[in-house]
Structure 1
Amino acid sequence: MEEEQKANVRAVDRALDILLCFTDATDLGLSEIASRLSLHKSTVHRLLATLENKGFLIRDVQTEKYRLGFRVWELSANLSQNDDPATLLLPEMERLRDLVEETISLYVRDGNERIRVQAVQSKQPIRRVAPIGARMPLAVGASSKVLVAYAEPFILQEVISDPNWPDFVNKESFIEQLDQIRKQGFATSVEERELGTAAVAVPIFNRNGQLVASIAASGPSNRLTPEKMSQYAPYIMEAAYRMGKMMK
């Protein structure tokens, strides 16, 4: 009986892993999913069939590839706006985008990574494209530094002790940057994670004073210069203040 329960839990775990494969891909084939999860194709095929029958995945009969099904959207439609900053803060993000004319992204921390949970693309011909759902390390980038700078002290220790910490980032310099961020209220980055891009980010605190997210403006580094980022920082801080007042 115990072995059967373990098998059932393992099947659920693997099914969820399959769904998580679609956080960075629109459609995937059987072989691609099996390779990502290091599972036998036969095992993945059975789980895909179940997820398809339940409406969580849709299979294209021509390409034999899978994509997320309508059941996922039904679940997301029932998220409470009070619990979903990606929905609640979207109008403010759009207003901020129109003000600074750069791409606006909303990030939350998940372990030693940050996740882009919402983005509003710039209307500029040349712009930073920010895919929702992307995960990034907390060692580099303006929003990463904000999420660590204003987190509890033990979070910093977990981040800098991460075995995946990049060799090119000096830990002492990183900690010094966090002190400066807390003093000035915002963080900047220039080509830290991607060549040719820059970003300025500020924290969002809820009505209880708790850090809930980071909001950032990003764009080409030749347009979003250090001077421009300093100019935009007060606008982003003001928007972040309004956003925080909307969150419990």
Structure 2
Amino acid sequence: MQNQPLARPPQYTIESVDSALHLLQLLRDHGSVRVKDAAKQLGVAPSTTHRLLAMLVYRGFAIQDESRVYLPGPGLGVMPIRASWTRALLDIAHPHLEVLSHSITETVNLMVRVGAAVRFLSTVQSENEERVSDRQGQVLSARRASGGKALLATVDERVLERLYRSAGSELSGERMTDAEFHAFQRELDTIRRQGFAINRQQTERGVCAIGFAIPGADDRPIAAFSIATPVSRFERVLSRDTVAAALQTRDAIHAELVEHGIRVSSGRVA
């Protein structure tokens, strides 16, 4: 196989983008970075490095531990979606989610599950002054996000064992103890009975969410959406009227997915 020539720097570089990409390489290759060390590597001020790392945390490409060291985030480890239906899903679901967000005045997110993670495809932000921020592009642990839980409640036991009890789950940091796994199974049973999942500040302090799985044309779950709100308004989101509105939205999206023949196994959109 012939060696590929090394890529040359572009004629016009964008320094902030280059620095962010360099940080991603440091996280990937070193496993952890401190602001001071990263700033030295990049040749920029620590304050600039801190802002860049904060954006990587926001987009799920880095996390910060208790000692203020930055580690690779789930966005660096999740595989590509590799599906031909995501664009059609967005086109169909987004208008319905906009209507729902406007009617309940809360932020609504659309996501898909990729292994043990969920990837946020779009966000419709609430018009409230106090609101949950944009999640588009972020990657979170599926077992903590409400939409991820709603999707995990639809898979069989073998998938759960592979995701959370296998050797691979230990490498990904998702492995559960026996007690944790059995407790999670009980939570999934509750989600199946009630038709939605709950996240009480499990992914972000001060933020709660309620999640619903969306079936595709073959009735298998293809995606999920969540209603995210500050904890102070969560009881209102859990009200019968809000849940009913969310279920109507789910059914409306499902009907359009059926009409267009969009399913998880679609090689192409019909």
| TM-score normalised per structure 2 | 0.63
Question: For 1:35, which of 26, 31, 45 is the aligned residue?
Answer: 26
Residue segments in structure 1 that go unaligned for 5+ positions in a row: 13-25, 40-62, 66-78
CA-atom RMSD in angstroms: 2.9
Deviation at 1:81, TM superposition (A): 7.3
2:186 aligns with: 176
2:207 aligns with: 197
Give the alignment of 1:91-240 within 5 angstroms: 91-161=95-165, 162-163=169-170, 164-165=173-174, 170-225=180-235, 228-231=237-240, 232-240=242-250
SS at match of 1:204: strand
Aligned equivalents of 1:137 and 1:177: distance in 2?
16
Aligned equivalents of 1:27 and 1:233: distance in 2?
41
Q: Which amino acid aligns with 2:29?
A: S
Q: Which amino acid aligns with 1:97?
A: S
Kindly indicate whether the alpha-carbon contact (under 8 Å) linking 2:164 and 2:176 is maintained by their aligned counterparts in 1. Answer: no
Q: Which amino acid aligns with 2:115?
A: G
Aligned equivalents of 1:34 and 1:183: distance in 2?
44
Kindly indicate whether the alpha-carbon contact (under 8 Å) linking 2:164 and 2:175 is maintained by their aligned counterparts in 1. Answer: no
Q: Which amino acid aligns with 2:227?
A: A
Superposed CA offset, 1:136-186 (max 9, x none): 112212112111001243321222222212779922111101011111111
SS at match of 2:184: helix
Kindly indicate whether the alpha-carbon contact (under 8 Å) linking 1:146 and 1:201 is maintained by their aligned counterparts in 2. Answer: yes
Over 3 Å counting, the alpha-carbon distance change for 1:167 and 1:81 in structure 2 is: closer
Kindly indicate whether the alpha-carbon contact (under 8 Å) linking 1:82 and 1:88 is maintained by their aligned counterparts in 2. Answer: no
Q: Which amino acid aligns with 1:148?
A: L
Question: What is the identity percentage for the equivalent residue pairs of Structure 1 and Structure 2?
Answer: 20
Over 3 Å counting, the alpha-carbon distance change for 1:83 and 1:155 in structure 2 is: farther
Residue segments in structure 2 that go unaligned for 5+ positions in a row: 8-15, 31-47, 53-82, 263-270
* Higher alpha-carbon deviation: 94-103 or 145-154: 145-154
1:87 aligns with: 91
